[in-house]
């Protein structure tokens, strides 16, 4: 049986990172979906769709757009464990994908056809049911000009009742985690968000030393 997570594990040292080593799992009827904002060498968004016990993954430099006129580059990367969808924290400096990771959106997705067939054809259509992104979308593969080219796709919002052509996009409006309510700086500092009646000073105390500035130049792995 093909180990879809082999490449993922080869890139990581799990004695140094809190990322889950993971294992393929049996997917249920409802397939999970997650977008993680990732401040590595450059901020980008990791778009992940559960299929057959792992997360198919694309790195989207500019993030998703709800405007059907926008076609966002999405670089197909290695599959990730399903439990990676709940990972939020900091990958240590010097390690693959070093930087801060936020759970920016999550929910479930419904493919328009069998994803294996769609991926082979180069067009995957689907419906998102997230906290921030909804409606019909498509991933369309770009032709490779040479064997050295990356597996590039376009992430496109389909025209439907939730598409928008005016106003701020979700990636510009929404800066906090849907999982913890923290922004990128708070996640990088290891700060917890508490929902209690304790005094603010106590409730917001950091649990880790402040990390280095997570905004650096260049484009990261996912």
Give the C-alpha separation, 61 to 74, whole Å.
7
- Phi first, then psi: give them for residue 151, nearest 5 degrees: -85, 85
Contacts of 103 (CB under 8 A, 6+ apart): 34, 36, 85, 86, 87, 88, 177, 178, 179, 180
**What is the rounded average pLDDT of the residues 42-47?**
96
Q: Are 194 and 203 in contact (CB under 8 A)?
A: yes
How many residues in the chain?
222
Please state, for a pLDDT cut of 70, what percent of the chain lies above it.
85
Confidence of residue 136 (pLDDT cuts 50, 70, 90): very high
Rg (CA), the chain: 18
Give the C-alpha separation, 179 to 34, whole Å.
11
The answer on pLDDT for 134 being more than 90 is yes
Least confident of 24-33, 44-53, 148-157, 208-217: 208-217
More confident residue, 3 or 146: 3
Domain ranges of the chain: 29-203
* pLDDT confidence of residue 131: 98
**pLDDT (tens digit, 9 = 90+) per residue, 142-168?**
998 777 788 999 999 999 999 999 999
Which pTM was predicted?
A: 0.84
* pLDDT confidence of residue 147: 75
The answer on pLDDT for 220 being more than 70 is no
Q: In whole angstroms, how far apart are CA 9 and each of 52, 91, 120, 151?
A: 18, 14, 25, 20
Q: Are 78 and 11 in contact (CB under 8 A)?
A: yes
* pLDDT confidence of residue 196: 37
* pLDDT confidence of residue 205: 40
């Amino acid at each position: 049986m093909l180990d879809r997570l082999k490449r993922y594990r080869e890139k990581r040292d799990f004695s140094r990172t809190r990322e889950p080593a993971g294992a393929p799992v049996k997917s249920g009827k409802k397939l999970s979906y997650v977008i993680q904002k990732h401040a590595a060498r450059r901020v980008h968004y990791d778009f992940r769709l559960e299929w057959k016990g792992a997360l198919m993954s694309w790195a989207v430099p500019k993030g998703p757009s709800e405007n059907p006129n926008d076609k966002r580059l999405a670089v197909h990367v290695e599959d990730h464990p399903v439990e990676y969808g709940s990972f939020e924290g900091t990958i240590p400096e010097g390690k693959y994908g070093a930087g801060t990771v936020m759970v920016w959106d999550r929910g479930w997705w419904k493919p328009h056809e069998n994803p294996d067939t769609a991926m082979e054809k180069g067009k995957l259509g689907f419906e998102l049911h997230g906290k921030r992104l909804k409606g019909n979308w498509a991933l369309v593969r770009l032709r490779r000009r040479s064997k050295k080219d990356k597996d590039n796709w376009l992430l496109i919002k389909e025209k439907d009742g939730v598409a928008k052509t005016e106003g701020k996009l979700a990636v510009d409006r929404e800066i906090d985690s849907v999982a913890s309510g923290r922004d990128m700086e708070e996640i990088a500092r290891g700060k917890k968000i508490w929902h209690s009646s304790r005094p603010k000073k106590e409730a917001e105390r950091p649990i880790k030393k402040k990390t280095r500035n997570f905004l650096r130049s260049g484009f990261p792995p996912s």
